[in-house]
Amino acid sequence: MTASREFLDYVVDLLRPFGPVSIRRMFGGAGVYRDGLMFALVAYDTLYLKVDDETRPAFERAGMGPFTYEGKTEPVTMSYFEAPPDAMEEADLLAGWARDAYAAALRTKTRKAPAKPGKVRPAAPRKRKRR
């Protein structure tokens, strides 16, 4: 998975109408963040936006598909769909898709189940102070 510096700069510039974003490199690609929340990713110089049950139908109607990668035993599909080609040419149009992706990321963040508790170890016995 790769993301060229030129493409990442293009994405940041194109997202200016949406607001300030930051890029963090990861696994050869990059995550796109706003206010510390990842709402998009870049892989192979392609922008993928976060989807959930509310936003996925719009991406499907636009003919866009999900980001997938080859896992250890089978392909893994993530909840990020390719940005429509026309949105990659017009900043104001991409801003609308980015707002929806950011909203999906916010909804997903609030719906995540709490982490499973780890094993509880008994506390070490306390030594009593003698008076």
Q: What CATH number does residue 94 fall under?
A: 3.30.1460.30
Q: Can you give the residue range of the structural domain that contains 23?
A: 5-109
Look up residue 55 and give its two tokens.
């936003």
Which tens digits make up the pLDDT trace of 3-32?
Answer: 899 999 999 999 999 999 999 998 878 999
Whole-number pLDDT of residue 34: 96
What is the identity of the amino acid at 98? A
The HSE-up count of residue 19 (CA atoms within 13 Å, CB side) is 11
Q: Does any domain span residue 122?
A: no
Q: Rounded CA gap, 49 and 42, in Å?
A: 9
The residue ranges of the chain whose pLDDT is under 50 are 112-114
What's the total number of domains in the chain? 1
Q: Rounded CA gap, 39 and 125, in Å?
A: 47
Residues 45 and 2 sit within 8 Å (Cβ to Cβ): yes
Q: Does any domain span residue 116?
A: no
What is the identity of the amino acid at 64? M
